[in-house]
């Protein structure tokens, strides 16, 4: 029982962070149709930005700097790199995001080197007793923070004017234009929000494993998550994140032997056989 609670907390933390990273990916794919292979690097840059701000001043500065870097990075990438590619074949766009990822990763290495840096612990450490098991408090904070962020995003998409506009653009760009919605601005907003969710995710990973290139590997797990949940589904990203996070931890804890890196993909294939759009992917609506 103790082990189960501990593994569940660990799995949910990983899952919540994965959900944040996946949310950014889904946002970009849904509204702009671009598959962003640099999402892991977005996490990395976010983590370093928060680190620099925190070390230099205070964690509030760190978070603000992280968000600022996220918006600049997101809007900059959209404006400078992807806008000129509008109308180009999808493979070209994919190659560009892969290249962008390598570029960002290398820049970070040049500046900060290869050694992992300890993440300043402004998120309360120590341990808490939960259902008879001892679990690290920072993981509970991680789950809480991620849950709040995801809730805020959900409200944004269903209630706010800009959120609804983003979904409208995802459905039909030309029709959205006739509503006076600026498609360009929505694209920029999608990239900025994706980077913001990546910064929060990156910060939480860094809090667990330190600030290092390992964050990118964590970011790679975004792919099983979004394919499982559905490439264009926000709730899918959250639930897919939780499933993958828990699966990895349970397999690692109960079975072990490296099987945890295989199991998510096995389950992924199984689910895709039954639901080809992923668990919550948008089914093309056809009226009969």
Partner 1 sequence: MSPTAPRTGPGTSRAPYGSAEVDPRQATEPILALNNVEVIYDEVILVLRGLSMSVAEGRIVALLGSNGAGKSTTLKAISGLLPTEDGEVSDGSITYQGRDITHTDAATIVRDGISQVMEGRRVFEHLSVHENLLAGGYTRSHGEHADDLDRIYTYFPRLADRRSQTAGYLSGGEQQMLAIGRALMAHPRLMTLDEPSLGLAPLLVEEIFSIIGRLNDELGTTILLVEQNARLALDIADHAYVMESGRIVLDGPAAELAANPDVQEFYLGLTEEGARRSYRDVKHYKRRKRWL
Which residues are at the interface with partner 1 (CB under 8 A)? 158, 161, 164-165, 167-168, 170-182, 282, 285, 287
Distance separating alpha carbons of residues 30 and 105, to the nearest angstrom: 25
Residues 6+ apart with CB under 8 A from 158: 164
| Nearer to partner 1 (CB atom), residue 73 or residue 181 | 181
Smallest gap from residue 192 Cβ to partner 1 (A): 18
Smallest gap from residue 148 Cβ to partner 1 (A): 24
Q: For 276, what's the count of Cα atoms within 13 Å in the CB-facing half-sphere?
A: 2
**Which residue is it, tokens 């969710």?**
197
* CB 282, CB 235: distance < 8 Å: no
Smallest gap from residue 287 Cβ to partner 1 (A): 7
Please give the C-alpha separations between residue 240 and each of 24, 222, 228, 257, 258, in angstroms, as whole numbers: 14, 9, 6, 24, 21
| Nearer to partner 1 (CB atom), residue 37 or residue 280 | 280
Distance separating alpha carbons of residues 237 and 28, to the nearest angstrom: 12
| Nearer to partner 1 (CB atom), residue 176 or residue 205 | 176
Residues 6+ apart with CB under 8 A from 155: 163
Provide the Cα torsion 21, 69, 48, 98; round to 10°: 60
Smallest gap from residue 277 Cβ to partner 1 (A): 12
| Nearer to partner 1 (CB atom), residue 41 or residue 232 | 232
* CB 167, CB 157: distance < 8 Å: yes
| Nearer to partner 1 (CB atom), residue 114 or residue 174 | 174
| Nearer to partner 1 (CB atom), residue 1 or residue 288 | 288
């Amino acid at each position: 029982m103790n082990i189960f609670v501990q593994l569940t907390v660990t799995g949910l933390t990983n899952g919540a962070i994965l959900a944040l990273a996946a949310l950014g990916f889904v946002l970009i794919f849904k509204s702009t149709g671009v598959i962003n292979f640099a999402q892991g690097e977005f996490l990395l840059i976010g983590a370093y930005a928060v680190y620099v701000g925190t070390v230099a001043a205070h964690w509030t500065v760190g978070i603000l700097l992280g968000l600022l870097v996220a918006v600049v990075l997101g809007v900059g990438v959209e404006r400078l790199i992807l806008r000129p590619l509008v109308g180009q074949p999808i493979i070209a766009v994919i190659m560009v995001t892969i290249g962008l990822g390598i570029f960002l990763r290398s820049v970070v290495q040049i500046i900060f080197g290869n050694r992992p840096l300890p993440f300043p612990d402004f998120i309360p450490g120590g341990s808490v007793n939960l259902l008879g098991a001892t679990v690290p408090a920072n993981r509970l904070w991680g789950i809480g923070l991620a849950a709040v962020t995801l809730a805020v995003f959900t409200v944004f998409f269903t209630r706010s004017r800009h959120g609804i506009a983003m979904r409208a653009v995802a459905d039909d760009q030309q029709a959205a234009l006739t509503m006076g919605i600026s498609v360009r601005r929505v694209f920029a907003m999608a990239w900025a929000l994706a980077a913001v969710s990546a910064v929060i995710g990156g910060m939480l990973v860094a809090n667990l494993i330190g600030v290092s290139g390992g964050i990118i590997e964590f970011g790679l797990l975004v792919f099983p998550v979004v394919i499982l949940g559905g490439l264009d589904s926000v709730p899918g990203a959250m639930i897919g994140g939780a499933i993958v996070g828990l699966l990895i931890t349970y397999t690692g804890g109960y079975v072990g032997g490296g099987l945890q890196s295989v199991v998510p993909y096995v389950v992924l294939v199984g689910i895709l056989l039954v639901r080809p759009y992923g668990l919550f992917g948008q089914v093309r609506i056809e009226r009969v």
